[in-house]
Amino acid sequence: MTDVVDSDELMRRMQRARACAAQEERTWRARHDELRSSDPEAAREAAVRTVAYETVLRVLDEVLTPGRHAGDG
């Protein structure tokens, strides 16, 4: 990670990170829904991870499109 990157490459990396976080958020949300009735402890863990990825998404959205999401949440 010592390579110098230009702004376009940095933007691409942040967009990939956002896509990855969105996929993880969907995965953990689905897992929470699956486990809600059968394993409450695992469902709580999945809910915590869902919130964590939602937070990452909010931060990356604000970095990638400043001001657009100011009214959200």
Q: What pLDDT is recorded for position 2?
A: 77
pLDDT (average), residues 61-69: 87
CA dist., res. 53 & res. 41, Å (int): 19
In a domain, 69, yes or no: no
Amino acid at 62: E
* Residue 39 within a domain: yes
Does residue 2 belong to any structural domain of this protein?
no
Alpha helices in 1-73 (DSSP H): 7-35, 40-64
pTM for the predicted model, two decimal places: 0.81
- Which domain covers residue 26, as residue numbers? 15-64
For the segment 13-21, the average pLDDT, to the nearest whole number, is: 96
pLDDT computed for residue 71 by the predictor: 58
pLDDT tens profile 20-63: 999 999 999 999 999 999 999 999 999 999 999 999 999 999 99
Look at residue 72 and tell me whether its pLDDT is greater than 60: no
Domain membership of residue 71 (yes or no) is no
**Two tokens, residue 71:** 């009214």
